[in-house]
A and B are shown apart, each in its own frame.
Chain A
C-alpha cells in the first residue's frame, strides 16, 4: 500500500502518519502542498495540524493548495482518502465531505483521550472493527464541533455514513461524553461513494502500546487489506 501523506505549511501530524503507515507494512510518501501530482499511490491521507495557521477558518486556505486538485480527482476516481483532524476540516472545506467543523462548545482546545463507538463496519476504513466496539483514541483540537443541517445529518445516518460516535464507556452517546458539541455526537463520517472519510480523533496516535492505545491500528489495517487483499504491502 503506497500512501501519499500531504504536508501543508503548519501540518504537524504528518510524521506520526508516516510512522504509522510503516508500522502496518505500508509505504508512506510525503507530498508537499505545492506539488501538482500525487504520483502512483493507492491512498491519500491529509494529516492533522494547523495548516496556514488556521487562518480564515481551519482548513480553508489548504483547500486552495495546488495539490488539492489532484486529491479531488483521486477521490473522484474512487481512490481512498483519509483526513484526520485538520485533514477532516480540509475535506469538509473542500466539499469532499459534507458539513463543517465549528469551534468546540467549550471554546477550549481539547487534548485528551476520548471513547468512540464503531457505527458501521462495512466501510473500507472500519471493516476490521466489530459493530459497537468501543475504541480509545486521543483528540487534540479547538474546532471539532461537527455541524450540518438536519437533512444532511439524517442522510448521513440513514446511509450508514456515520462511522464513529463519541460515547461513554458503556457505549452510550450521552452529552457528557461529547467532547466538542458535535451534532449527534458524530466523530467521523464517510462520503457518499464510500472512499473518502474524515474524523477528528487521531487513530495514528493510537497504534503502539507505549502510546496508551492500539485501537487506531484497525483502521489502517482495514485499508491495507482492502488495497492488498492478498496480504502484499
Chain B
C-alpha cells in the first residue's frame, strides 16, 4: 500500500448563480481589470489517502465526492492524484 496526495476541486455547475464569483468579478472591474468576463468560485480539498494504486486512490475519491464532498444538484468535481507521498510497510 502507498500513500497518495489527492487534490479535489469542487466547482459550481456552469450557469448556476454564483454570487461570490459575481462580487469578485465586479471588484476586479473596479480595479480596471476589464478583461475579466467571468469568475467562478469553488473549493479545493487535499486528501492524503492510502491505496494500492493511483487508480484505486482516485476511485475512492470519486465515491467520496458523489456521497459527500460535492452536492450533485449544484456542483461538479475534478480529482487529481498529485503524488505518492510514502510507501506504507505492512507486516
Residues of A at the B interface (CB closer than 8 Å) are 56-57, 60, 64, 92-93, 98-100, 102-107, 145, 147-149, 181
Contact = CB atoms under 8 A, between A and B. Distances in A.
18 contacts: A56-B68, A56-B69, A60-B68, A98-B73, A99-B73, A100-B71, A100-B73, A100-B74, A102-B19, A102-B74, A103-B19, A103-B20, A104-B19, A106-B19, A107-B19, A145-B17, A147-B73, A148-B73
A64 B68 contact: yes
Nearest to A99: B73
A46 B76 CA distance: 28
B71 A107 contact: no
B71 A60 contact: yes
Contacts of A145: 17, 19
B52 interface: no
Contacts of A106: 19
Interface in B1-34: 16-17, 19-20, 23
Interface residues of B, number: 10
A181 B19 contact: yes
B17 A147 contact: yes
Main SS of chain A's interface residues? loop
Contacts of A56: 68-69
Interface of B: 16-17, 19-20, 23, 68-69, 71, 73-74
A170 B27 CA distance: 36
B66 to A, nearest CB: 12
Contacts of B23: 107
B17 A105 contact: yes
Nearest to A180: B19
The 10 closest A-B pairs by CB, nearest first: A100-B73, A105-B19, A100-B74, A107-B19, A100-B71, A103-B19, A107-B23, A57-B71, A147-B74, A99-B73
A107 B20 contact: yes
A21 B71 CA distance: 33
A181 B69 CA distance: 24
B22 to A, nearest CB: 8
A15 to B, nearest CB: 29
A181 B17 contact: yes
Given A99-B73, A105-B19, 13 more contacts: A60-B68, A60-B71, A100-B74, A102-B16, A102-B19, A103-B19, A105-B17, A107-B19, A107-B20, A107-B23, A145-B17, A147-B74, A148-B73
